[in-house]
Amino acid sequence: MSANYKAELVGVFGQPIAENPTGVMQEAAFAAAGLNWRYINFEVPPDKLGTAMLALDALGMRGINLTIPHKVDVLQYLDDLSPAAKAIGAVNTVRNEGGCKTGENTDGKGFLRGVRRDAGMDPAGKFVTVLGAGGAARAIAAELLMAGVADLLVVNRSPDRGQAMVKDLREATGGPIRFSAWKGTYRVPAGRHLFVNATSIGLYPDVEAAPNIDLTTASPAMLVADAVFNPPETRLLRMARARGLPTLDGLSMLVYQGVIAFELWTGQTPDEDVMKAALRNALGVT
């Protein structure tokens, strides 16, 4: 048997990129699966994205993740889009099959897998509130609509951004999505099953910040999920737990978006525990 020392390459294009922890968990998963694959963080400025995408073919790379500021600009370099990527209008994962590049968005799918597996909730038929109208909120809302939620209320500070998101996702999915402007304290009404913070409030270094919401009116079993993963233990989640509400942290979404990218690229199922442990270790979470 002759040796094969040629590694398969994937990675991420972004700027800045040095502190992106996804590669740590992907490399741990490749090693655990005995795959000779490498994941490399590439610092790519906006005006070099087109050249970097051509490099996928030149180097025979199997795929790439996109992060800030490339998730929307990359669309022009792709041959095909998944239904979710089309609805969201942004791509965080590309699969390259012999030069044919397909864009997917695994952020919302990762969130949903966390809701199902880590929190044990099936989103179908549920009443959901999503706080925020940025990239993470769009990805989460699109997948929730495609999973058949009964009602999706988007609450955002900037009405223009919130209304644009609702219009786009209603057109793309036909789902039950509506908007409410966020002014002052937002009182979470009874009857909601899931509340998601998809804003950047609480993100490091502003770790004592929490969304200005009132949870006293929420139903006792409402799941409170946070997209913020640094720190994983946000003030919002502490507030929710103090009221006895179940919670889901942003590490869950981060791990599963990586798990889904691994599956897309390799066609195999990774060891999720290995990925979770590598990520927690990289982020210094005990």
Range in contact with ligand NDP (rule: CB under 6 A) among 38-46, 147-155, 222-230, 265-273: 222-230
Contact between 161 and ligand NDP per CB under 6 A: yes
Q: How far apart are CA 87 and CA 78, in angstroms?
A: 15
Catalytic residue among 48, 71, 101, 109: 71
Cβ contacts of residue 7 below 8 Å, gap of 6+?
36, 37, 38
Nearest to 214, CA basis, from 131, 132, 154, 126: 131
CB distance 73 to 38 below 8 Å? no
Q: What's at 248, amino acid-wise? A: L
Catalytic, 86? Answer no
Return the structure tokens found at 143. Answer: 């997948």
| Closer to ligand NDP by Cβ: residue 52 or 248 | 248
| Closer to ligand NDP by Cβ: residue 63 or 202 | 202
Output the smallest distance, CB 140 to ligand NDP, in A. Answer: 9
Contact between 157 and ligand NDP per CB under 6 A: yes
Contact between 237 and ligand NDP per CB under 6 A: no
Output the smallest distance, CB 209 to ligand NDP, in A. Answer: 7
Q: How far apart are CA 225 and CA 198, in angstroms?
A: 9
**Out of 257, 261, 262, 270, which residue is the one contacting ligand NDP (CB under 6 A)?**
257
**Out of 24, 91, 137, 142, which residue is the one contacting ligand NDP (CB under 6 A)?**
137
Contact between 135 and ligand NDP per CB under 6 A: yes
| Closer to ligand NDP by Cβ: residue 44 or 279 | 279
CB distance 253 to 259 below 8 Å? no
Q: With CB under 6 A, what is the number of residues at the site for ligand NDP?
A: 24
User: How much helix, strand and coil, in percent to the nearest 5, is found in the chain?
Assistant: 40, 20, 40
Return the structure tokens found at 32. Answer: 């655990």
Q: What is the CA radius of gyration of the chain?
A: 19
Strands 186-187 and 194-197: unpaired
Range in contact with ligand NDP (rule: CB under 6 A) among 35-43, 143-151, 198-206, 235-243: 198-206
Q: Give the three-class secondary structure for 283.
A: coil
Contact between 199 and ligand NDP per CB under 6 A: yes
Contact between 106 and ligand NDP per CB under 6 A: no
**Cα 35 to chain center, whole Å?**
25
Output the smallest distance, CB 161 to ligand NDP, in A. Answer: 4
CB distance 234 to 207 below 8 Å? yes
Contact between 228 and ligand NDP per CB under 6 A: yes
| Closer to ligand NDP by Cβ: residue 9 or 90 | 90
Contact between 132 and ligand NDP per CB under 6 A: yes
Contact between 179 and ligand NDP per CB under 6 A: no
- The helix or strand, by DSSP H or E, that contains position 277, with its residue range, turns out to be helix 272-282
Contact between 200 and ligand NDP per CB under 6 A: yes
Sheet holding 63-66, edge to edge: 37-43, 8-14, 63-66, 93-97, 100-104, 80-81
What does the binding site for ligand NDP look like in residue numbers (CB under 6 A)? 107, 110, 132-137, 156-158, 161, 198-201, 203, 227-229, 250, 253-254, 257
Report, as residue numbers or ranges, the catalytic residues.
71
